């Protein structure tokens, strides 16, 4: 299930975060060939992994099987610093907008037969649960345009920030995806239950929820 890790509780997640950085390196460097991110110690950590980043970890029996990172749009993030050419107008910025990056799932737990995997569904559900509870309404995504149809079918309101561009051998588009209760309902319907995806989060977030 999904654990939310921020500066507040990262101290008690050292072992899991270590696995998360290694999972990121395995997926993005070794598998997808993003060589700019290669690190000699096999831990993929960048300048955005600072005190303001919010990590979401899918953990099963102490093993990190899925990961994603949320960055506040009010501070420098990938779209503004690394991929600004994907956004043709003004950057979407605000306390209710966060950027979704580094989504990854271990190979064994990935989409089978092209259906959104249960781990993938829970990671997406975690964003929506967290967003609905904390006032976040919209996420910025840089992704393969192929994902667009699925997001729309999951009741995200997806708005392109630019046209798809070729980066290396990948086609990539920047969008914002707004969500609400209907999105959560659809994700629950697809996975067939309404059990919350997020099982642990920092105290501050829990106070926000109460």
Partner 1 sequence: MSRRTLDDTLTFIARVDKASTPAEIADAVVDVARPLGFSHVLAGIIPIPGMTAEQQISNVVLHRWPKAWSERYFTKGYLFDDPTIQRVNASTEPFLWSELEPTYRNTPAPTRVMGEAREFNLGCGFTVPMITLNGQTAGFSLASERAEVPSVLRGQLQLIAMYAFARALGQKYKPAPVNLTPREMDILQWMAEGKSDWEISVILKVSEHLVDKIARQLRAKLNATNRTQTVATALRHNLIR
- Give the helix/strand (H/E) hosting 173: strand 170-178
Say whether residue 182 binds partner 1 (CB under 8 A).
no
DSSP single-letter state for residue 185: H
Pairing of strands 138-143, 97-105: parallel
Residue of 86, 122, 154, 177 that binds partner 1 (CB under 8 A): 154
Residue of 63, 168, 171, 195 that binds partner 1 (CB under 8 A): 171
By CB under 8 A, which span of 22-30, 46-54, 92-100, 165-173 interacts with partner 1?
Answer: 165-173
Say whether residue 149 binds partner 1 (CB under 8 A).
yes
Residue of 7, 74, 152, 195 that binds partner 1 (CB under 8 A): 152
By CB under 8 A, which span of 62-70, 111-119, 124-132, 198-206 interacts with partner 1?
Answer: 111-119
Asked whether the beta carbons of 208 and 134 are under 8 A apart, the reply is yes
User: Would you state the structure tokens that stand for residue 12, as one six-digit string?
Assistant: 């008690």
**Side-chain half-sphere exposure of 144, counting CA atoms within 13 A:** 8
Strand, coil or helix: 182: helix
Site for partner 1 in 27-86 (CB under 8 A): none
Asked whether the beta carbons of 21 and 29 are under 8 A apart, the reply is no
User: Using CB under 8 A as the criterion, which residues of the chain lie in contact with partner 1 when the complex forms?
Assistant: 88-89, 111, 113-116, 145-146, 148-150, 152-154, 159-160, 162-165, 171, 173, 190
């Amino acid at each position: 299930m999904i654990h939310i890790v921020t500066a507040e509780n990262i101290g008690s997640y050292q072992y899991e975060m270590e696995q998360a950085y290694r999972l990121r390196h395995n997926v993005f460097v070794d598998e997808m060939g993003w060589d700019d991110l290669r690190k000699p110690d096999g831990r993929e950590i960048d300048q955005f992994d600072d005190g303001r980043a919010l990590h979401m970890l899918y953990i099963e029996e102490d093993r990190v099987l899925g990961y994603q990172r949320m960055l506040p749009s009010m501070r420098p993030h990938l779209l503004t610093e690394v991929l600004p050419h994907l956004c043709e107008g003004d950057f979407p910025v605000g306390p209710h907008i966060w950027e979704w990056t580094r989504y990854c799932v271990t190979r064994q737990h990935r989409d089978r037969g092209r259906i959104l995997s249960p781990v993938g569904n829970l990671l997406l559900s975690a964003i929506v649960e967290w967003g609905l509870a904390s006032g976040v309404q919209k996420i910025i995504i840089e992704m393969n345009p192929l994902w667009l149809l699925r997001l729309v079918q999951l009741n995200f309101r997806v708005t392109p920030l630019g046209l798809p561009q070729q980066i290396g051998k990948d086609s990539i588009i920047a969008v914002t995806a707004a969500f609400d209760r209907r999105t959560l309902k659809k994700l629950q319907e697809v996975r067939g239950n309404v059990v919350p995806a997020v099982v642990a989060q920092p105290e501050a977030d829990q106070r926000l929820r109460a």
